[in-house]
Amino acid sequence: MLLLAGGVLLAAGAAWLFGADPRGLSLGGVELGGEERAWLADRSVDFMEDLQFKDFTKAATYHLEATQKARDIPALIRKVFRVPPELLDIHSYKVLEVDLDRSKTRARVRMLTYYHALGDEASRDQAASNRSVEILLYWFRGADQKWTMELESSLR
C-alpha cells in the first residue's frame, strides 16, 4: 500500500514538473497535453514572429479569410505595445500557457513578449525603452474544424 502511494506521489510530482510546458506532456510516446495545445502554441509563436519581422500581411492570415484585408495590424500594435509599429523591436517571446475550453472549440494562448522601443539616443538610454507585455491570443474552431485567431480580441 505504501509503495502504491509512493508511486502515485512520484507520478503526480513528475506530471507537475513536466506539465509546466504549455504544449503538454509526453511520457513514453503518450501525449498527455494533446496535439491541439502544441499546434496552438506553435501558431501563436508564428504570429509573434510575423510581428517581429513586420510581416503584417502574413500576421493577418491567422484571422478569418473573409476579413483578412480589413485587419489593421499596425493599429493593433500601437494599442498593445504603445509604440508605433516602425519603432517596435521585438526581442523574444514565449508561450506561458495554453487553455482550451471544455468543448475544445475555443482557446487562449498567454504569451510574454519582450521588446524595445526604438528612438533617439535619449530614448535608447532609458531603461523604460526595454519593456515586456503579456498578451492573450484568442482562437476559435470554425465549422470547418480549423483554428482561427480572433485578432481584435487578442490585440486590444
Number of domains in the chain: 1
Q: Which residues, in sequence order, are CB contacts of 23 under 8 Å at separation 6+?
A: 33, 37, 38, 41, 42, 95, 98
Does residue 6 belong to any structural domain of this protein? no
Does residue 73 belong to any structural domain of this protein? yes
Per-residue pLDDT at 69 = 74
> For the whole model, what pTM was predicted?
0.76
Q: Quick one: average pLDDT of 78-82?
A: 88
CB 77 within 8 A of CB 135: no
What are the tens digits of pLDDT across the range 103-123? 999 999 999 999 998 887 766
Q: Virtual CA dihedral for 37, 40, 46, 50, nearest 10 degrees?
A: -150
What are the tens digits of pLDDT across the range 20-78? 555 555 444 444 557 899 999 999 999 999 999 999 999 989 988 877 777 788 988 99
Does residue 10 belong to any structural domain of this protein? no
Does residue 146 belong to any structural domain of this protein? yes
CATH code, 141: 3.10.450.50
Residue 55, domain extent: 35-154
Does residue 135 belong to any structural domain of this protein? yes
